[in-house]
Amino acid sequence: MGEERTEVKRVIQHKRTGLYLTSEGAWTAQVQEAEHLPNVLAAVRRSRELNLSEVELVLKFESGQYDVRLDL
């Protein structure tokens, strides 16, 4: 009751460079320009489709306080 929904953005980030994947398949330093994926499965599919390595899925919460990182 009264629970607040927290917005979570799911983006792919290169581990070494820290850049984010865009919907065009390019890389950007701006998380706002990154491709926002609907779920974890979409992130796995996208990374395999582009044959990406050294990347992780980052769950970025609205507050920015507790980002979660998962290897892809």
What spatial distance separates the first Cα and last Cα of the chain, rounded to whole Å? Answer: 35
Round to whole Å and give the CA distance between 61 and 4.
Answer: 13
Kindly list the strands in the beta sheet with 8-14, ordered across the sheet, starting from the edge strand earlier in the chain.
Answer: 27-28, 20-21, 8-14, 55-61, 68-71
pTM value?
0.86
Give the containing element (helix H, strand E) for 32. Answer: none
Report the relative pairing of strands 55-61 and 27-28 from DSSP bridges. unpaired
The pLDDT tens digits for 8-44 are: 899 999 999 999 999 999 999 999 999 999 999 999 9
